[in-house]
Structure 1
Amino acid sequence: MKDPVLPGNPPIPLILRRSARARRISLRISQLDGRVTLTMPKRLAEREALAFAEAKQDWIRQHLAARGEDVIVAPGAELPVGGKVLKVRGGQGRGVRIGPEEILVPGPDDSIGKRLAAHLREVARDRLAGACDDYAALLGRSYSRITLRDTRSRWGSCTSDGGLMFSWRLIMTPPEVLDYVAAHEVAHLAQMNHSPAFWAEVTRIYGDYQAPRQWLRDNGGALHRYRF
């Protein structure tokens, strides 16, 4: 059975989820992909849950509008790189070139998104590796490896064996934000927690982290709107 749709302009697809632990109906809108999930008690009639969503329609549409629509990365699209918004254009030659105002990506239009994503991954790896090397030296600890992924729930992580993982989308953020996330995960090499001692290490190797941390909270979710 297909998930229902909230009528209107435009229609809004709903994801229905039944939970044995739910005691009431709840709504959640993902800031990552805009999905609207309706969670309801296991034995509740579906029509009651849909009536609840209908009553909350204005609230749902306001939150979806605030999130903004997804951006398909293709010629003409605007994409943040290093905190600056650049225009994506077709280019000549073999390599991707990132300039002060535009990104030139050679190849057929339908391959530009994937090609640009692959290039940004490599740029992100270089920047993060350099930042992690610097912060690890300041910390007096070493890491074992760096892995890049397109994560949804976190910007970075540190394993008990010294492995560092980052979202490659950090390359879209201002440089100080990328540096903060690198310092944050490196600090976990000394403190595998978020205790006052951990935040003291972040401050020691990075400095005042409040502004870049807040930037991620306010703007990080929007970076997942870009579809490559």
Structure 2
Amino acid sequence: MSDLHLPGDPPIPLILRRSAQARRISLRISQLDGRVTLTMPKRLAEREAMDFARSKEEWIRKHLEARGEDVQVGIGAKLPVGGQEYLVQTGTGRRVQITPDGIFVPGPAESVGKRLGAHLKEIARDRLAGASDDYAARLGRSYTRLSLRDTRSRWGSCTSDGGLMYSWRLIMAPPAVLDYVAAHEVAHLAEMNHSAAFWAGVTRIYGDYAQARNWLRTHGSTLHRYKF
């Protein structure tokens, strides 16, 4: 694996990955961190991969622009909570406060991101536990445990023994989206699949989920731009 750059303004870092299984050159842009990876057959010349990248430059730049830049969370940063954007500001006292005027974080500037991240995880646990309790009651099933992680490939999961897991970053999404994910995972307590019966269960306990699911598909990756 090697690092190259596609010239331009700005230059685009490329990760070149050789694979014995690859039969052709493929291109992938990570929506989580914006990394551009070229995977190519093991014995193919590097210049051919670069020629391929240059031929896709317009497409690459378009997708990187749509993703937006990463945001290092600190004083002066703008951060979504519950789908609403807030300005992170210096706070007083002992606790983080989220008000209509902004997010106020006390303490040294260098610890703002870490402290705010911990606060958001607390709120996320409370909201997701409440939503899971409500939907489980509607479904007539119970779950065994609830955990939060910073998952990169999924927003939630349900294990065969009734354990629910969620991405804490859902607290940054609109409330209806967080609720949809909770309903989705709770519905798996009855149907461990994505059959028609499963989706009927989601509809029964949540309602019309199309808009919330589309929001996740369109905007969900942006929640990973925020670095705490």
Q: TM-score, normalised by structure 1?
A: 0.97
Greater displacement, 159-168 / 19-28: 19-28
How far residue 14 of structure 1 moved from its aligned partner, in angstroms, is 0.9
Q: Which residue of 2 aligns with 1:3?
A: 3
Q: Which residue of 1 aligns with 2:148?
A: 148
Greater displacement, 50-59 / 92-101: 50-59
1:61-80 → structure 2 map (5 Å cutoff): 61-80=61-80
Q: Which residue of 2 aligns with 1:86?
A: 86
What is the CA deviation profile of residues 69-126 of structure 1, one whole-angstrom value per residue up to 9, with x for unaligned ones?
A: 1111111111100011111001001100011230000011111001000000000000
RMSD: 1.1
Q: Which residue of 2 aligns with 1:100?
A: 100
1:79 aligns to what SS in structure 2? strand
Question: Structure 1: which 5+ residue stretches go unaligned?
Answer: none
Using the alignment, how far apart are the partners of 1:208 and 1:7 within structure 2? 46
Q: Number of matched residues?
A: 228
- CA 1:2–1:58 in 2, change beyond 3 Å: closer, same or farther? same
Alpha carbons 1:25, 1:39 under 8 Å: kept: yes
Q: Which residue of 2 aligns with 1:58?
A: 58
1:74 aligns to what SS in structure 2? coil
1:4 aligns to what SS in structure 2? strand
Alpha carbons 1:78, 1:87 under 8 Å: kept: yes
What is the CA deviation profile of residues 153-174 of structure 1, one whole-angstrom value per residue up to 9, with x for unaligned ones?
A: 1000001111100000000011
Greater displacement, 9-18 / 153-162: 9-18
Q: Give the residue type in structure 1 aligned to 2:58.
A: D
Alpha carbons 1:155, 1:181 under 8 Å: kept: yes
What is the CA deviation profile of residues 174-226 of structure 1, one whole-angstrom value per residue up to 9, with x for unaligned ones?
A: 11110000000000000000000000110111111111011111110111111
Q: Which residue of 2 aligns with 1:43?
A: 43
Q: Give the residue type in structure 1 aligned to 2:201.
A: E
How far residue 20 of structure 1 moved from its aligned partner, in angstroms, is 2.5
How far residue 2 of structure 1 moved from its aligned partner, in angstroms, is 4.4
1:219 aligns to what SS in structure 2? helix
Report sequence identity in percent. Answer: 75
Question: Structure 2: which 5+ residue stretches go unaligned?
Answer: none
Using the alignment, how far apart are the partners of 1:46 and 1:160 within structure 2? 46
How far residue 61 of structure 1 moved from its aligned partner, in angstroms, is 1.2
Alpha carbons 1:85, 1:101 under 8 Å: kept: no
How far residue 55 of structure 1 moved from its aligned partner, in angstroms, is 2.2
Q: Which residue of 2 aligns with 1:122?
A: 122
How far residue 28 of structure 1 moved from its aligned partner, in angstroms, is 0.9
Q: Which residue of 2 aligns with 1:158?
A: 158
